[in-house]
Amino acid sequence: MLINCAAYQEGRKLDDIPVEQISDYIERPGCFVWVALRDAEPEELDLMQHEFGLHELAVEDARHGHQRPKIEEYGDSLFGVVHTVEIIDGDLRVGEVNIFVGPNYALSVRNRCKQDFLGVRARCEREPQLLKHGACFVFYALMDAVVDRYFPVINALEEELETIEETMFTRGSERASIERLYQLKRKIGVLKHAVSPLMEAVSKLYGGRVPTLTAHAQEYFRDVYDHLYRVNTRIDSIRDTISTAIQVNLSMVAIDESEVNKRLAAWAAIFAVFTAFAGVWGMNFKGMPELQWQFGYPLALLVMLSVGGYMYYRFRKSKWL
């Protein structure tokens, strides 16, 4: 689906143009065309490939989708894949934005993503002095917009972790806390898979040998890398905290089990006393003098209760009961 198609020259918008006129505008000196597609059909990609002369391998990746975040260089053009991450009904949904950039064109194709980039286009058009950089600045603006949208996601995940931490010491909530922590860990993994590969890719766009297309805009891509680095650092911090919280929960479970085992052991020891006395006095040998005692039965009960009571007192004092 075509969202918009516009031509720009010297940083200012000329007009919205039909797709059929793209080839006319990209031949003009200092002019470039910016096209945005959503959930593009194969026929639309074929048309864009014909109009812009896109590399067939890049088009194949965009057609198949589900690519790892990356930036690839094809001659004087670039092909980038970035993942969008948004929270929908408490779950993380991952979309994909394929960006084709050449000296005189910028093409973005977003798939499985509800977020739009109309604000990005409006921002670029408000800054013609930056848009003079051409399609390269559009490439930066689109990547910057995707990366900036990671921050609300990481903020929400941090808040979720804080909520779990507040309830994890409530007795009886250990199992539920561990389940929530593992769910949060899975979400963090999803965001990590979007951020880490993109960091590696963006780092190749500034410093040292960089593509010709981005040579005059290295500071902008360094800014994107800095944002990615901040997000990645917070992701690692959350992962470490989750691992610690899981260990704490498991320790709490072990402590609770130990408390139960101590109570069972204490009661078993007390009843073992009754069993021992009853076993000795229940043998019924003829030579046992206690069998003929008039008060033997109440005395035996008194001895057993006394010893059992003393053991109960000692276990209570040592907090086993």
Mean pLDDT of 167-187: 83
Q: If pLDDT is split at 50, 70 and 90, which confidence band does 306 have? A: confident
Is 128:94 a contact under the CB 8 Å cutoff? Answer: no
Amino acid present at 190: V
pLDDT at 192: 94
Question: In terms of pLDDT, which residue wins out, 103 or 118?
Answer: 103
Sign of CA dihedral 19, 106, 2, 47: positive
What is d(CA 100, CA 274) in angstroms, rounded to the nearest whole number?
84
Q: Which residue segments constitute the domains of the chain, with CATH numbers given?
A: 1-148 (3.30.460.20), 254-317 (1.20.58.340)
- Residue 178's pLDDT is what? 85
The answer to whether 205 touches 74, Cβ cutoff 8 Å, is no
Candidate from 65-79, 166-180, 193-207 with smallest mean pLDDT: 166-180
Give the number of other Cβ atoms within 10 Å of residue 215's Cβ: 12
CA 187 to chain centre: 3
Query: Residue 131, Cβ neighbours under 10 Å: how many?
Result: 23
pLDDT score recorded for residue 69: 93
Helices (H), the chain: 22-26, 42-52, 56-64, 118-126, 128-131, 135-148, 150-167, 174-202, 218-281, 296-317
Q: How confident is the model at residue 166 (pLDDT cuts 50, 70, 90)?
A: confident
Q: Which amino acid is at 266?
A: A
- For 212-243, the pLDDT digits (tens) are 888 888 899 999 999 999 999 999 999 999 98
Q: DSSP characters for 248-310?
A: HHHHHHHHHHHHHHHHHHHHHHHHHHHHHHHHHHTS--TT-GGGG-TTHHHHHHHHHHHHHHH
Tell me which amino acid residue 167 is.
T
Nearest C-alpha neighbor of 67 from the set 192, 193, 185, 187: 193
Residue pLDDT, tens place only, 252-290: 777 777 777 778 888 888 888 888 878 877 777 666 776
Query: What is the C-alpha separation between 138 and 33, in angstroms, rounded?
Result: 10
Other beta carbons within 10 Å of 170: 10
Q: In whole angstroms, what is the distance from residue 161 CA to residue 82 CA?
A: 26
State residue 60 phi and psi, 5-degree precision: -60, -40
Average pLDDT of 106-114? Answer: 88
In this prediction the pTM is 0.78
pLDDT bracket for residue 70 (50, 70, 90):
very high
* 309-318 residue pLDDT tens: 888 888 788 7
Q: What is the pLDDT of residue 108?
A: 92
